[in-house]
């Protein structure tokens, strides 16, 4: 973790309240006119699924922690999540933090414990290093365009590790995607990069903009996939470097992401400067689904 906050309240105020496209949303708790707690969250997006919410920070001042204010703040974000038809609510918890019992009581599942998810991070120094690397001239990495969407969807379906859904749900997802009219419009909260070989898209990365109350604007790498081909190893490197370059261009402080296979897939990210924060700091991924949450 960073040694301490690298920004002040003015930056947080500007990024969340003085912007046409705020980088985060925030619920606050007020008691007798005094702000005593807050919950800060942002949206994460998916190619084949509906968007989700990531709860970045939940805090209540010490004098008010026995009044169930934290519970009410969490419930308010959970309600927003499922009122907006988001697929789940994600958040990270340190394994030694007693708050994990609170979250489990709310119905959240520790996916690190159950499925083995690990959190990785690229800090600013690693981003700068990757962004400076020269791309191979054999293929192209660029921002996605509207005409790339079917190829991205095909790759997402090819590379997904999610369990198979029934045919009815699969059809509903495809219809939802095909009727998306905003893919060609600038999205202030997410974007795609694609890798092309002989003018064919063979890889993509989906990134979302996230926020840290310590480091301000950051990036969340949600999806990253390159199909198998003779140049796949180098293409993965160049696509990953392009994501880092995008983060630098967009003035992001870091990139965070979660992976399921740290022993194998984790080697690629570690060789590119990413740190396994689940291994080094014991961060766990928690997820709340609508069907697991306890009644509010």
Q: For residue 124, give the CATH number of its domain.
A: 3.40.630.30
Q: In terms of domains, do 111 and 144 share one?
A: no
Report if residue 295 sits inside a domain: no
What pLDDT score was predicted for residue 184?
54
Report if residue 37 sits inside a domain: yes
Q: In terms of domains, do 158 and 228 share one?
A: yes
What pLDDT score was predicted for residue 2?
53
pLDDT of residue 181 exceeding 50: no
Q: In terms of domains, do 176 and 226 share one?
A: yes
What pLDDT score was predicted for residue 204?
97
Helix, strand, or coil (residue 180): coil
Q: In terms of domains, do 181 and 258 share one?
A: yes
Report if residue 4 sits inside a domain: no
Q: In terms of domains, do 170 and 237 share one?
A: yes
The H or E element that residue 38 is part of is strand 34-44
Q: pLDDT tens for residues 152-165?
A: 999 999 987 533 44
Of the spans 7-16, 173-182, 250-259, which averages the highest pLDDT? 250-259
Q: In terms of domains, do 52 and 169 share one?
A: no
Q: In terms of domains, do 199 and 267 share one?
A: yes
Report if residue 1 sits inside a domain: no
Q: How far is CA 64 from the centre of its chain?
A: 30
Supply φ then ψ for residue 139, to 5 degrees. Answer: -145, 175
Judged by average pLDDT, the poorest of 14-18, 74-78, 197-201 is 14-18
The chain-wide mean pLDDT, for the chain, equals 88
CB count within 10 Å of CB 62 equals: 7
Which among 45, 52, 88 is positioned nearest to 183, based on CA atoms? Answer: 45
What pLDDT score was predicted for residue 8?
82
What pLDDT score was predicted for residue 138?
81
Q: In terms of domains, do 190 and 65 share one?
A: no
Mean pLDDT for the stretch of residues 84-103 = 96
Alpha helices by DSSP H, listed for 35-105, are: 69-83, 99-105
pLDDT confidence of 294, banded at 50, 70, 90?
low
Half-sphere exposure of 89 (CA within 13 A, CB side): 27
Supply φ then ψ for residue 253, to 5 degrees. Answer: -80, -25
Report if residue 72 sits inside a domain: yes
What total of structural domains would you count in the chain?
Answer: 2
What pLDDT score was predicted for residue 170?
38
Report if residue 227 sits inside a domain: yes
Report if residue 234 sits inside a domain: yes
What pLDDT score was predicted for residue 186?
63
Q: In terms of domains, do 63 and 210 share one?
A: no
Half-sphere exposure of 14 (CA within 13 A, CB side): 7
Q: In terms of domains, do 77 and 182 share one?
A: no
Task: Catalogue the active-site residues.
Answer: 103
Judged by average pLDDT, the poorest of 170-179, 205-214, 275-284 is 170-179
Q: What CA dihedral angle connects 260, 262, 268 and 271, to 10 degrees?
A: 140
Edge-to-edge, what's the strand order for the sheet holding 200-212? 140-143, 190-197, 200-212, 216-226, 255-259, 118-122, 275-276
The answer for residues whose C-beta is within 8 angstroms of residue 196's C-beta and 6 or more apart is 139, 140, 141, 142, 202
**What gap in Å lies between CA 220 and CA 295, rounded to an integer?**
30
pLDDT of residue 271 exceeding 60: yes
Helix, strand, or coil (residue 282): coil
Q: In terms of domains, do 106 and 76 share one?
A: yes
DSSP output for 199-243: TEEEEEEEEEEEEETTTEEEEEEEEEEE---TTHHHHHHHHHHHH
Q: In terms of domains, do 71 and 173 share one?
A: no
CB count within 10 Å of CB 207 equals: 25
Report if residue 212 sits inside a domain: yes
pLDDT of residue 27 exceeding 80: yes
**Containing structural domain, residue 139:** 120-280
């Amino acid at each position: 973790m960073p040694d301490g906050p690298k920004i002040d309240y003015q930056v947080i105020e500007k990024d969340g309240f003085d912007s046409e496209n705020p980088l985060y949303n925030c619920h606050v708790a007020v008691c007798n006119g005094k702000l005593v707690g807050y919950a800060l969250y942002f949206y994460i997006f998916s190619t084949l699924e509906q968007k989700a919410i990531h709860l970045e920070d939940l805090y209540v001042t010490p004098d008010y922690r026995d009044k169930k204010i934290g519970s009410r703040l969490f419930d308010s974000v959970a309600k927003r999540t499922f009122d907006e038809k988001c697929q789940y609510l994600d958040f990270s918890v340190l394994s030694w933090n007693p708050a994990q019992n609170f979250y489990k009581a709310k119905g959240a599942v520790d996916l690190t414990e159950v499925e083995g998810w690990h959190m990785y991070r690229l800090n600013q120094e690693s981003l700068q290093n990757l962004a400076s690397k020269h791309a191979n001239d054999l293929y192209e990495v660029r921002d996605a365009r509207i005409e790339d969407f079917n190829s991205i969807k095909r790759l997402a379906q090819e590379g997904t590790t999610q369990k198979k859904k029934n045919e009815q749900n699969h059809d509903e997802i495809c219809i939802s995607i095909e009727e998306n009219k905003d893919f060609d419009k600038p999205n202030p909260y997410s974007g795609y990069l694609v890798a092309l070989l002989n003018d064919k898209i063979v890889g993509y990365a989906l990134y979302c903009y996230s926020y840290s109350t310590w480091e301000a604007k950051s990036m969340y790498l949600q999806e990253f996939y390159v199909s198998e081909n003779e140049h796949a190893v180098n293409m993965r490197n160049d696509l990953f470097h392009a994501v880092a370059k995008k983060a630098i261009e967009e003035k992001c402080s870091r990139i965070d992401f979660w992976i399921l296979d740290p022993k194998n897939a984790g080697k690629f990210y570690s060789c590119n400067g990413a740190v396994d924060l689940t291994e080094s700091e014991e961060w766990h991924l928690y997820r709340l689904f609508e069907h697991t949450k306890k009644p509010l």
